[in-house]
């Protein structure tokens, strides 16, 4: 999907920042679906049994493999293409690399300011959402669950924008990105739902909070799009794509792989990683 030309824009009064409404609606829908994967985690969290270590290791490893492969093979090169068109080949390449590390810096700063003991992107908290807390007071559990949901919301903002930008520009990139982010949202939903279920005794409350935490992704997409709306151009999209690649690489290396390793299923995590890369590679080859 590409922006409408100036001539097309004159004929259409309903375009949004040069994009057809259908393109914006599709990107928003994909982002919503990825965010609502926390509901799946919420359902697992309020069920009788929680996911085993092999499931978490394989799923998180697969998600990391997809995100790493698509970031370096597809999204970053696409950013260089956009920026090269706007700034020239050499300047565009430098700008893409700069925006890539800017994306890493943004998500790292967000990560830094979320307290470690409630940060669901910390491996111990993601794999054992209610560890130790089951014996604590109900008020403490409720606070932990709510704060985890808030922390997830902060982290999910840039992830939502990543999904939205991908869906807006290239569906072949967007679909695997949606799948990868959805997979890693599942254990995050577990992390929110379990302590709230234990605190309130209500499965519905746990599921509700898990779902709300995932809605931060479409909110982040909407906010990012509205902020960038007046500045949409090849250069803007290039910077956004490169920053998105940085965000996804950081999440993979700082969150997904360490969390998968903490399950104790090292080989399952690595097999999942390789499988995710292979699936991503095959999906891209099919679009050539």
What value does the mean pLDDT of the chain take?
76
Burial 65-77 (b: 16+ CB within 10 A, else e): bbbbbbbeebbbe
Judge whether 149 and 3 are in contact, CB under 8 Å. no
| pTM tops 0.75 | no
Q: What is the pLDDT of residues 137-151, one digit of tens each?
A: 456 556 655 655 665
11 is in an annotated binding site: no
**CB neighbours of residue 89 within 10 Å:** 12
198 is in an annotated binding site: no
Two tokens at 246? 């940085």
22 is in an annotated binding site: no
Q: What is the pLDDT of residues 9-61, one digit of tens each?
A: 444 435 665 667 787 888 888 889 888 888 888 888 777 565 678 877 887 78
Distance CA 233, CA 203 (A): 46
188 is in an annotated binding site: yes
184 is in an annotated binding site: yes
Strand-pairing partners, residue 19, are 16
Distance CA 236, CA 86 (A): 9
Q: Give me the phi and psi of 19, to 5 degrees please.
A: -110, 140
217 is in an annotated binding site: yes
């Amino acid at each position: 999907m590409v922006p409408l030309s100036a001539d097309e824009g004159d004929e259409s009064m309903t375009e949004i920042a040069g994009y057809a409404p259908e393109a914006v609606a599709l990107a928003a829908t994909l982002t919503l679906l990825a965010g609502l994967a926390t509901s799946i985690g919420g359902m697992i969290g309020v069920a009788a049994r929680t996911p085993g270590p092999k499931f978490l290791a394989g799923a998180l490893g697969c998600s990391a493999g997809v995100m790493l492969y698509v970031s370096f093979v597809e999204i970053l090169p696409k950013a260089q293409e956009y920026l090269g068109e706007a700034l020239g080949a050499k300047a565009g390449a430098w700008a893409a690399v700069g925006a890539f590390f800017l994306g890493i810096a943004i998500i790292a700063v967000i990560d830094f300011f979320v307290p470690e003991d409630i940060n669901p992107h910390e491996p111990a908290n993601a794999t054992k959402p209610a560890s130790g807390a089951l014996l604590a007071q109900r008020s403490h559990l409720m606070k932990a669950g709510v704060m985890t949901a808030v922390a997830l919301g902060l982290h999910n903002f840039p992830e939502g924008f990543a999904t939205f930008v991908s869906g807006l520009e290239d569906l072949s990139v967007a679909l695997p990105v949606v799948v990868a982010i959805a997979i890693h949202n599942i254990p995050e939903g577990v992390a929110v739902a379990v302590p709230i279920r234990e605190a309130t005794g209500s499965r519905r409350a746990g599921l509700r909070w898990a779902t709300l935490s995932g809605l931060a992704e479409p909110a982040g997409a909407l906010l990012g799009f509205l902020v960038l709306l007046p500045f949409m151009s090849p250069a803007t999209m290039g910077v956004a794509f490169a920053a998105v690649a940085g965000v996804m690489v950081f999440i993979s290396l700082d969150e997904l792989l360490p969390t998968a390793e903490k399950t104790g299923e090292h080989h399952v995590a690595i097999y999942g990683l390789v499988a995710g890369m292979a699936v991503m590679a095959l999906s891209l080859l099919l679009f050539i």
